Amino acid sequence: MKRVLSLSLIASSMLMAGGYKIPETSLNGVALSAANIAHNKSADAAYYNPANMVFMEDKNNIELDLTYIGLDPVSYNGKVTATNVDLDSERESFIVPTIHYVSGKAGEARIGLSIVSPGGLSKRWTESPASKSAEEFTLKVIEINPTFAIPVGEKVALAFGFRIVHSEGVVKATPSPGAVYQDMTGDSIDYGYNLALAYKPTSDIDVALTYRSQVNLTVEGSADLYYAPGGLVPKGNYEASVNIPLPATASAALAYTLPSKTTVEFVYERNMWSAYKNLDFDYTNASAEAVFGTSKSKDWKDTNAFRLGLTQELDNMTLMAGMVYDESPVPSKTLGFELPDSNSLSVSLGGRYEINDKIEVGLSALYSMRETRKIETNDANDNNLVGEFTNANVLMISTGVSYKF
């Protein structure tokens, strides 16, 4: 029972660079499957590779995007303990706004600002036994990322930025209606940094390196708890906190532009998820800590993502397409209903149209197809699962407008 009840808000926050991460935080990001790090002439360079701001046209550039995210219902067929079940989660959908800004030159330097939602989750199961541990897991994340870039010679630029991350979430679970439940909320503001390098050895080759630091989420909140057996935890609101790492991410990218103004970009991305070893929720109340505060092993692994982007520039239009293969960080042993994660293959396309020399509009879409995730008996799953999760696909549609002045 303690193992089930130790599920927390932050279990879902870790999806930001794993299961339901959102690296596609702009119109171009969606169209190119986030393969827009080395070759980028738009305002979202402020987020993806701020060093590229140095090589942009000497104008202020601002872009506003709206992205629809739809999560298919996840199906689970198999056993929970010794009981055969066939369950489906609820369908989820969101509208996420983002904004990117790149300044004109300040001397030779450039300043950027991005306000994005780099990840999040809403996973709800209304059917038992999934609802016993994951009735609702919801996370909202907003990152404010100011950046500063300078040239180093004519072919190299460097950039530095601050990550200001606000997270807010909810977790509800009812292992035993009327006898045991938890309804938890929490939030935090935490900080990190990002570094970027852009190198243009020739007019048709772009090279980039980026690094986003680990951010320790120091979430504090409260929980309505009740544990009736033995009267161990009376009904009440209890203070709670947890300290969880949001792992670092490093990327290396290479882009080549053909004489036909066709650009091909490849991105290798490494997510350092092995920093997430366990989940240990702390309660100031001794009884709540004894029942609900048991440390839960996670043992996530570092993961790779391989991104490919294709851009074709025309007279008044830019066409884009992309593909990405992304690995899951969650081992079969600790997989649960709050994160039925698996490896994924995504495809994307989109376009931008130049109305005049100041205004551009665009539309893009991405579809992520997730592999079936099987849990075998010999995986010794901590949540007593033996079966498979299917249909965890994701659709993203983004529209945006940019303005230069």
Helix residue spans in 198-263 (DSSP H): none
**Superfamily (CATH) of domain 2-404:** Outer membrane protein transport protein (OMPP1/FadL/TodX) (2.40.160.60)
CA distance 138 to 347: 26
**Burial environment of residue 74 by CB neighbours within 10 A (0 to 12, 13 to 18, 19 or more):** buried
Q: Contact 31/364 with Cβ under 8 angstroms?
A: yes
pLDDT of residue 92: 78
Name beta bridge partners: 244.
217
Per residue of the chain (405 residues), give pLDDT as tens: 333 333 333 333 334 334 445 678 899 999 999 999 999 999 999 999 999 999 999 999 999 999 998 888 888 898 888 889 888 887 878 888 999 999 999 989 999 999 998 766 666 677 776 655 555 566 678 899 999 999 999 999 999 999 999 887 777 666 677 777 777 788 889 999 999 999 999 999 999 999 999 988 787 888 888 888 888 888 888 888 877 777 899 999 999 999 999 999 999 999 998 988 887 778 888 888 888 777 778 888 999 999 999 999 999 999 999 999 999 898 999 887 777 788 999 999 999 999 999 999 999 999 999 889 999 999 998 888 999 998 878 899 999 999 999
Tokens at residue 87, please?
């369950």
Q: Quick check: 204 and 256 in contact, CB under 8 A?
A: yes
Q: Which residues in 26-55 are b (16+ Cβ under 10 Å) and which e?
A: bbbbbbbbbbbbbbbbbbbbbbbbbbbbbb
Q: Residues 130, 169, 144, 397: is their CA dihedral positive or negative?
A: positive
The residues with which 179 forms a beta bridge, in sequence order, are none
pLDDT at 187: 87
Distance of CA 199 to the CA centre of its chain: 27
**Residue whose tokens read 């009736």:** 228
Q: What is the dihedral sign for C-alpha 345, 372, 4, 124? A: positive
Q: Identify the pLDDT of residue 75.
A: 86
Q: What integer pLDDT is reported at residue 294 of this predicted model?
A: 76
Q: Cβ(250)–Cβ(303) under 8 Å?
A: no
Which pLDDT belongs to residue 17?
35
- The CA-atom distances, in angstroms, between 374 and each of 81, 176, 223, 273, 377 are 15, 27, 33, 21, 10
pLDDT for the residue 8: 35
34 Ramachandran zone, left/alpha/beta (phi>0; psi -120 to 50): left
Helices (H) and strands (E) in the chain, counts: 6, 24
pLDDT score, position 1: 32
pTM for the whole thing?
Answer: 0.88
Domain boundaries, the chain: 2-404
Residue 62 confidence (pLDDT): 97
130 closest CA partner among 169, 88, 71:
88
In the block, residue with structure tokens 């025309």:
314
